Amino acid sequence: MLGEILDEYIKNIIIFKNNLLENSKNIDDCLDYYINSILSLSDEELKLELVITNLKRNYEVFNEENFKKLKIIACTMIDFIKEVLNKYKKDINIDEKDIEKCSKMIFSIAEVFLVMENVDFNSDRFSFKTLDEVKKMYRSDDMKEHLEFIKKSIKKIIY
> Containing domain of residue 121, as a range?
1-158
Q: Give 48's contacts (C-beta < 8 A, 6+ positions apart).
A: 5, 8, 9, 12
Q: Is the CB of residue 33 less than 8 Å from the CB of residue 88?
A: no
| Least confident piece of the model among 45-54, 110-119, 128-137 | 110-119
Which pLDDT score, from 0 to 100, does residue 124 have? 78
pTM (two decimals): 0.84
pLDDT tens for each residue of 30-56:
999 988 888 888 988 888 888 888 777
Please report, rounded to a whole number, the percentage of residues in the chain having pLDDT higher than 70: 98
Alpha helices in 24-119 (DSSP H): 27-39, 43-57, 64-87, 99-117
Overall number of domains in the chain: 1
CATH assignment at residue 92: 1.10.357.10
Q: How many CB atoms lie within 10 A of CB 45?
A: 16
